[in-house]
Structure 1
Amino acid sequence: MIKIKNTLFLILCLFKFVSVYCQSIEIQGKVTASSDIDRIHIINKTANTFTITNDDGEFMISASINDTVLISAIQYKPLEVFVTPQIIQSKYISVELTDKITELDEVVVGKILTGDLLSDIENSNVKRDINFYDLGIPGYTGKLKTQSERRLHEATTGGGLVPLNPLLNWLSGRTKKLKAQIARERIDKAMKEVRSELSEMLFDIDNLEESKRIEFFYFVSDDPNFLPLSKAESDLVMLKFLQQKLEEFKTQLEKD
């Protein structure tokens, strides 16, 4: 009986240790350099998340213990920061970047074919799109995530033999809340774009008092058909939809 209790105790301790070890938190940071410190790339290579610094060189990014965070910009030497338990505890990173001195490569006149496929391609006239690596910036080339999308990614990913982070966030309801928040943000963004592009035309056709217009667009965004229509990118279809919703909104105002 004592052995069973000791085993259960050890399992619980291990569970708690792994949970803390895998936990991802928001870490604040500060970049200092000789000149421009805004829009410097901050890339968590382990979690595949990305952000940039503000005008003061400040940033915030999610990270866990043992993650590798890359700080890079075209005018500075890339710097990698290994996330230690001390960084997780302080929730802060401070780094100083060194200027990158660009040296001219040896000039070669004419094309030299070496027999090495990759080398010969580089020496040929074949062109390709310029990417981060051409400019000396190891960077993330995927679609930039919003803050809520980054938090959802952090909440649904985890490493190790037992990926506890996704399970714990699912059980606590955090994952569901983050998904709902992302859905709401997408609707709000679409609503603001439609309001900016079609508001004047709509109210020229069928007027609505100024004080009720914002309320009307929130009324429109609550319709489940709104977001799919906004993605269709047809102003004519969306305008007809808005006219229909405006009639419903005015009818509702009369009832109230």
Structure 2
Amino acid sequence: MVLDKVIYVEMEEQINELDEVIVGKVLTGNLKSDIKNTEGDPPINFFDVGIPGYQGKPATQSERRLHEAGEFKPKMLLGLLTGSIPLNPILNGISGRTKTLKKRVEIETKETLILSIKSRLSKDFLASNPLEDYLVADFFYFCADDENFMKHCKNQSDFKILIFLRMKYRQYKDNLNQE
């Protein structure tokens, strides 16, 4: 059976237009504002589950290695009486590894401090104490090589650090003129 009938359907055009559509939260690009507008629970931390956790400054890799190496102390010899003496501190002390690790931590601490000083104070310092661009890094390492660098710059005000830099600047310029 073949059907040869055609059905015509007449359609009318109708347009529905919405004024504005907002899907989800509106992000402004301002991180502080956008974070306040978000929903959800913050991630779980060690306080939430009642376990102790470290809250201090994270140790650098060299600081962690130094801690792992241990440091020999004479009272460790009392462990001979109980039969338990830690070998790592003794072996690392004999081999010189502990001393090397201490030196590495000291160098990294100086490096971090000099980079901090350079980023904070170099523009103001160099405005009144001019140096060629290629000498700037050399000057700051010259300052860091001073045996009193940490004493004059660590945990000191920017003013005291600038006084130290000015003193080292004179010495640095004198060294350049002698060459």
Range into which the TM-score falls when normalised by the shorter chain = 0.5 to 0.7
Q: Cα offset for 1:143?
A: 3.6
Is 1:133 aligned with 2:133?
no
Closer, same or farther in 2 for the Cα pair 1:151/1:134, shift >3 Å?
Answer: same
Is 1:175 aligned with 2:98?
yes
Deviation per residue, 1:131-154 (Å, 9 max, x gap): 722266763334421110110011
Greater CA radius of gyration, 1 or 2?
2
Query: In 2, Cα distance between the equivalents of 1:141 and 1:246?
Result: 39
Q: Which residue matches 1:151? A: 65
Closer, same or farther in 2 for the Cα pair 1:197/1:177, shift >3 Å?
Answer: same
- The structure with the largest helix share of the pair is 2
Q: Which runs of 5+ in 2 are unaligned?
A: 1-42, 73-78
Q: Which residue matches 1:95? A: none
Query: In 2, Cα distance between the equivalents of 1:142 and 1:196?
Result: 24
Query: 112, 133, 147: which is aligned to 1:224?
Result: 147
Closer, same or farther in 2 for the Cα pair 1:142/1:242, shift >3 Å?
Answer: closer
Q: Which runs of 4+ in 1 moved over 4 A?
A: 135-138, 157-160
Query: In 2, Cα distance between the equivalents of 1:241 and 1:140?
Result: 35
Identity, in percent, stands at 45
Is 1:234 aligned with 2:148?
no
Is 1:204 aligned with 2:127?
yes
Supply the RMSD in Å over aligned alpha carbons.
Answer: 2.5
Q: Which residue matches 2:6? A: none
Q: Secondary structure at the match of 1:153?
A: helix
Query: In 2, Cα distance between the equivalents of 1:136 and 1:251?
Result: 61
TM-score, L = length of structure 2: 0.65
Q: Which residue matches 1:55? A: none
Query: In 2, Cα distance between the equivalents of 1:239 and 1:142?
Result: 29
Q: Secondary structure at the match of 1:133?
A: coil
Deviates more, 1:170-179 or 1:218-227: 218-227
Closer, same or farther in 2 for the Cα pair 1:228/1:209, shift >3 Å?
Answer: same
Query: In 2, Cα distance between the equivalents of 1:245 and 1:189?
Result: 19
- The structure with the largest strand share of the pair is 1
Q: Cα offset for 1:176?
A: 0.2
The number of equivalent residue pairs is 129
Query: In 1, Cα distance between the equivalents of 2:161 and 2:143?
Result: 11
